[in-house]
Structure 1
């Protein structure tokens, strides 16, 4: 299955990710007034689905993503998920003096992967994303595009059931953008779920659903 082919599978009974009545607010400004960012966000993500989440700057997209991955607590509401999570943050969280190989080794240990499984996954990702020649290059010497590839590769390494991506293709050239969607299509075909946050969506036919965040809520577009 290629990256722009839709899955014909009917969603399973149990979603891999559920968000219910999520609220989040912050105090800001000179008067320290409470600003409501999320006002009761609800949505489900099922195995084999690719869902896009869009919204303007300041709409709450990144706040929602942080809540979904457990990096930020909501004021109220619940998040439940099943299986492993792979997270690709908008700004790569990498160690400047570690090479790409060393990053993969570090994350493999965190995921509890065997040496053999880690080596196979790492090599496949190098080849699929096209940055094998940078395996022994420190992160501080990588271009922005290659850093984005490493960031995505680390999220994909353990073959998670749920993949959460925040602006994943920022910095990709056209060739890498196409490779990205091939990877997403393969994951959809084997029942993996993918949530992609972006400022806007260009290739709408690549998604099963698109949700827009506005006024603190997520609604189908």
Structure 2
């Protein structure tokens, strides 16, 4: 993914000021910043949900986007969501989605309506929907909110598997406590990514 001089403002408030970013294949990267720094706005621009005021975003392959705000139909079951997205993505089967569900340990919820799922299980479904078409680039906004410790560990195991399979994973968070798990780390401050990407230790 290549991002060049992306800018965005809400009225008179400029949120993104000339963002430049290169995300190579096989990299697990993160962007941290305070609440309100523009992290979610940046991911919305990168995913195409939001049009930047200026600048360009180029994806080298397909991408998946897991937004912070979970958008599910409470009347549909987990499997009905999967079927809907299967058609949207043009997938032949649900084997990849079922593999992700197995890793995250919620296969038994297939016939449960989204409206009665716990917050953590809804987030598991949210992540599965973003990953089920096996994208080259995965964009994650606060991806493990609501996860218990076991699921949190499974999430990171999954992220490492994706990285090792040559996928690019970019996640944003207002916390930097997971920076040691990342290959590259940026800080979004005053509308710009601070400094060059550095290999996290």
* Shorter-normalised TM range: over 0.9
How much has 1:82 moved relative to structure 2? 1.3
Determine whether 1:88 maps to 2:66.
yes
Q: Which consecutive unaligned segments of at least 5 residues does structure 2 have?
A: none
Deviations 1:148-191 (A, max 9, x none): 10000111101100000000000000000000011111111110
Matched residue, 1:22: 6
Q: Pick from 175, 178, 186: which aligns with 2:161?
A: 186
* Alignment correspondent of 2:91: 113
The reply on whether 1:207 has 2:190 as its aligned counterpart is no
Please give the alpha-carbon distance, in whole angstroms, between the structure 2 residues aligned to 1:49 and 1:95.
Answer: 32
Residue 133 of structure 1 deviates from its aligned partner by 1.5
Q: For the residues of structure 1 that align with 2:76 and 2:54, how far apart are their CA atoms?
A: 39
The yes-or-no answer on 1:72 pairing with 2:47 is: no
Mapping 1:12-161, distance limit 5 Å: 17-27=1-11, 34-115=12-93, 118=94, 120-161=95-136
User: Does the 8 Å contact 2:31/2:173 carry over to 1?
Assistant: yes
Determine if the alignment matches structure 1 residue 216 to structure 2 residue 183.
no
User: 1:168 corresponds to which residue?
Assistant: 143
Q: Give the TM-score normalised by structure 1.
A: 0.86
Segments of 5+ residues of structure 1 without an aligned counterpart are: 1-16, 28-33
Would you say how many aligned residue pairs link Structure 1 and Structure 2? 196
Q: Specify the SS of the correspondent of 1:146.
A: helix
Provide the C-alpha distance between the structure 2 equivalents of 1:164 and 1:68, rounded to a whole number of angstroms.
8
Deviation track 1:21-65 (CA, whole Å, cap 9, x = no partner) reads 1111122xxxxxx11111111110000001101111111111111
1:79-118 Cα deviation digits (max 9, x unpaired): 0011111110001111111100111111111111103xx2
1:205: Cα distance to partner? 2.1
1:11 is matched with none
Contact persistence 2:120–2:147 (CA under 8 A): yes
TM-score, length of structure 2 as denominator length: 0.95
CA distance in 2, matches of 1:70, 1:203: 27
C-alpha distance in structure 2 between counterparts of 1:194 and 1:186, whole Å: 11
Q: Which runs of 4+ in 1 moved over 2 A?
A: none
- Which residue number corresponds to residue 170 of structure 2? 195
Q: Residues 177-210 of structure 1, C-alpha deviation per residue, up to 9 Å, x if partnerless?
A: 0000111111111100000011112122210111
Report the 3-state secondary structure (helix = DSSP H, G, I; strand = E; otherwise coil) of the residue aligned with 1:21.
strand
Query: Which structure has the greater CA radius of gyration?
Result: 1
SS of 2:13's equivalent in the other structure is strand
